[in-house]
Structure 1
Amino acid sequence: MGPRDTGRWARKETAAVVATVRTVLRQPGPERDSVVQSLKAAGAAIAAWALAGWWLQAPMALLAPWTALALVDATVYRSLRAGLRQLAVILLGTLTAAAALSLTRGDTLAAMALALPPLVLVGTYRRLGTQGIYGATTALFVITATSTSSAEIGHRLLETGIGAVIGIAVNAFVLPPVHLRNAGDQLLRLPRDTGRLLRDLAQGVKGEWTAEQALDWHDEARRVEETLRYVRDARRHAEESSRLNPGLRLRRARSAQPPPALDARWSAAVDHLRAVTRTLATLGQGDNPLRSPGNDFFADWARLAETLAVLCEREYEALARREPSAPYVLEPRAVPEEVRVAYEALDASFRGLSGTGAVPAGELLAETRQLLRALVSEVPREVGR
């Protein structure tokens, strides 16, 4: 990565951070939820240390805040499940370390060589998730303490139990995370970001664009694709939020979840949008053997892209106005007249091309046609109103 690429990356990341901070301050959503969860995790760790280290004077109080910090998870269900796993893994690590110290007569290095390999291997078991590594780290704590007495082992379990109880309790009863709205929040970003990118593309292709600008467009398309993954993650979190969560009782109306059909539609749209930006990025390269389709073709393509951006903006506005508890209703929608006219003009422009310029033009026409089909196939009923 050269200095220019590094500078471009730094500018984009800085802009993304600033945008995230503004979102946190202006409106509720996943960003604000992340801030709340982070503060809760820090508070749980402090409370666990205050109880185990300051009040009880536990000999290895570090285990309590360490455990509490790890157990303030994305959902209450995950916290409870992770807590049970972690207690089991830490018990295994403690007993294995005690056995290794006993067999090696307190030799720290030999005990590590005996205990760590099997514990690290057990930690890779996929059903243990991220808690698997805690067996080996707990064993390190116990071995370096060089004590195998039942009282010391009991202290390790007590300290871990204190952290687990505090972490789970804080997550469950202090602003318990309810992700029922998050899938809809993330879905709302897809038409918004797609519309913005289409407008940027339409404005850019009307003149001369650089290879760096084309790469920026392609990066933005990949960011939109990441948002689609966030929608799926949020839906999974929403399902878990319905389990063992007292916070649901505080909500009078539960947020409706977007149907998977919307995911499929936007997945197709994002795929074709990314293909469009990839073709433009290829055309922007200096060593590209293909000729540009020309300004007339790109003028017609820009017109079509602007009409598609309007479709995205209308859907964004409709989804933003929808009541959280209102169900998502899908129905087919006809192609708007202005979109049809713009597409026919682009198709006529393509038919007038010849030579190597027709190759990228054909790719752009095909991918844009598929993008159009994805955007108008099935949409929430509110969009058409």
Structure 2
Amino acid sequence: MRERWGALTSDVRLPGRYQLVQSLKAAAAAALAWALTGWWLAAPMALMAPWAAVALVQGTVYRSLRSAVELIAMMAAGTLLAAGAAAVTGNTMTAMLIALPLTVLLGNWLPVGEQGLYAPTTALFVLAYGTYSLSAVGHRLLETVVGAVVGIAVNAIVLPPVHSLHVRTLACALPRDCSRLLRELSEGLVEEYDEERAERWHRAAGELPGALSDLRAARGWATESFRFNPGHRMRRSTPSPSERWDVVWAQVVNRLLALTLTLWETASEQRGLPRPPGPSLDDLSAVMAAASEVCAADATIMEQGPDDDCLEHRADQLAEARRALAEAKRHLRGPGPDARASLGSLVAGCQALLDDLTPGEDGSALLAGGARTGRI
């Protein structure tokens, strides 16, 4: 029980600033919508307004506006279908059997996403109210519109969400994770790495494409968060990488996947690919150690901005990696054909990796002028 409880609590994280702010905004919007409908419309049980207000404090202002149209349509459909079925049948249970299948089908059929759930749930609430007159239906629809307006207004006026900071955080994490893996590879090549360790390297490299997917998703959120957002110009500016940054690090990730796969195969007893000779592994270790420093420098430059000392250190480490790679190439003539195959694969992968990290038209996006100003 103690182990299970520890595993559960280790996965639980405290809410971040964004979650806390959005939760408080949703609660405030619900309270304001309830107060308005209770005071202005004199509704004794104004449930629709706070319900709609909470639902429309979305992750972006644009998403609040788009969801408002879908939500109002679904809640109106649920209200009208439930009231119509109750008026025709005169029985709540019979009206429920008629309205619920129609509203569920409507929510699943139309391209309204998560808002489709509001059609059948609204029908249930209308039937639970027990009033189906024309004025009661109009009252419910008016409450929905008031709640939608309040939810959108609160989300757009009170700290409107902008997601550029998440993009920059993920972009900085990519070179840092690549640097960490390259450092582990460098240390492992000097030692006598085994199949289990090489497999662990390949699994770590296999997690990097997921980070790239998260970065692309974050860019979509960041772009969307600037649409119809009245407050984004009031946020302070910060360097943010261009999409070329994603392309460069996608190439680096692919190189690491290929390198770790080759190392795994050379360590496996089930494969016929022999391990490269020790001196060549020492040179490849030096290549990866220097490449790790280059990746770490990119992360530092992205976090803190270009710095002459950091740029000089990066250039020195890239040159050191090139020198070590040239030494590794000299071993290609020595071993047998099978060992040359494994060594050649590793050398080719390292050379492609260094080409990707080289500043210029096809190199590092940051040093090639890819950084641009964003907002957080």
TM-score (norm. length: structure 2): 0.76
8 Å CA contact retained: 2:82, 2:127: yes
8 Å CA contact retained: 1:180, 1:255: no
Deviations 1:60-102 (A, max 9, x none): 62x4443333222221121122122211221122212223334
2:284 corresponds in structure 1 to 301
8 Å CA contact retained: 1:58, 1:159: no
Going from structure 1 to structure 2, the CA distance change for 1:145 and 1:181 (only over 3 Å counts) comes to same
1:341 corresponds in structure 2 to 323
Identity of aligned residues (%): 38
1:228 corresponds in structure 2 to 212
Match of 1:375 among 341, 357, 367: 357
Q: How does 1:186-225 map to 2 (within 5 A)?
A: 186-209=170-193, 213-214=197-198, 216-225=200-209
1:322 aligns with 2:308: no
1:83 aligns with 2:65: no
8 Å CA contact retained: 1:106, 1:146: no
1:266 is displaced (CA, Å) by 1.6
1:167 aligns with 2:151: yes
Q: Distance in 2 between matches of 1:352 and 1:102?
A: 91
Mean alpha-carbon deviation: is it higher for 193-202 or for 162-171?
A: 162-171
1:338 is displaced (CA, Å) by 0.9
Instruction: Give the AA of the match of 2:356.
Output: A
Going from structure 1 to structure 2, the CA distance change for 1:291 and 1:180 (only over 3 Å counts) comes to same
Mean alpha-carbon deviation: is it higher for 359-368 or for 184-193?
A: 359-368
1:247 aligns with 2:221: no
Going from structure 1 to structure 2, the CA distance change for 1:243 and 1:297 (only over 3 Å counts) comes to same
Mean alpha-carbon deviation: is it higher for 140-149 or for 84-93?
A: 140-149
Instruction: Give the AA of the match of 2:21.
Output: V
Deviations 1:138-172 (A, max 9, x none): 22333444543234423432443343233222211
Gaps of 5+ in 2: 307-314, 370-376
Mean alpha-carbon deviation: is it higher for 181-190 or for 333-342?
A: 333-342
Q: SS of the residue aligned with 1:148?
A: coil
Going from structure 1 to structure 2, the CA distance change for 1:120 and 1:302 (only over 3 Å counts) comes to farther
Q: Distance in 2 between matches of 1:291 and 1:121?
A: 61
8 Å CA contact retained: 2:33, 2:147: yes
2:58 corresponds in structure 1 to 73
Deviations 1:343-385 (A, max 9, x none): 22333345544465555545444433333222223332389xx
1:182 is displaced (CA, Å) by 3.9
8 Å CA contact retained: 2:290, 2:317: no
Going from structure 1 to structure 2, the CA distance change for 1:320 and 1:105 (only over 3 Å counts) comes to same
Q: Distance in 1 between matches of 2:190 and 2:225?
A: 47
Going from structure 1 to structure 2, the CA distance change for 1:65 and 1:354 (only over 3 Å counts) comes to farther
2:250 corresponds in structure 1 to 267
Q: Distance in 2 between matches of 1:121 and 1:353?
A: 69
Deviations 1:239-289 (A, max 9, x none): 3333322212423x6556532222222222222223333444556667556
8 Å CA contact retained: 2:162, 2:222: yes
Q: Distance in 1 between matches of 2:12 and 2:330?
A: 43
Going from structure 1 to structure 2, the CA distance change for 1:98 and 1:301 (only over 3 Å counts) comes to farther
Q: SS of the residue aligned with 2:231?
A: helix
8 Å CA contact retained: 2:318, 2:354: no
CA RMSD in angstroms, aligned pairs only: 3.9
Match of 2:21 among 29, 36, 58: 36
Q: Distance in 2 between matches of 1:285 and 1:113?
A: 63
Q: How does 1:125-204 map to 2 (within 5 A)?
A: 127-204=111-188
Deviations 1:112-148 (A, max 9, x none): 4433444334334574233233223322333444543
Going from structure 1 to structure 2, the CA distance change for 1:261 and 1:59 (only over 3 Å counts) comes to same
Instruction: Give the AA of the match of 2:85.
Output: A
Q: Distance in 2 between matches of 1:350 and 1:294?
A: 10
Q: SS of the residue aligned with 1:378?
A: coil
Q: Distance in 1 between matches of 2:74 and 2:220?
A: 25
Going from structure 1 to structure 2, the CA distance change for 1:179 and 1:153 (only over 3 Å counts) comes to same
Q: Distance in 1 between matches of 2:90 and 2:116?
A: 27
Going from structure 1 to structure 2, the CA distance change for 1:203 and 1:39 (only over 3 Å counts) comes to farther
Gaps of 5+ in 1: 1-5, 25-30, 324-332
Q: Distance in 1 between matches of 2:100 and 2:52?
A: 20
- The structure with the larger Rg is 2
Going from structure 1 to structure 2, the CA distance change for 1:181 and 1:116 (only over 3 Å counts) comes to same
1:59 aligns with 2:41: no
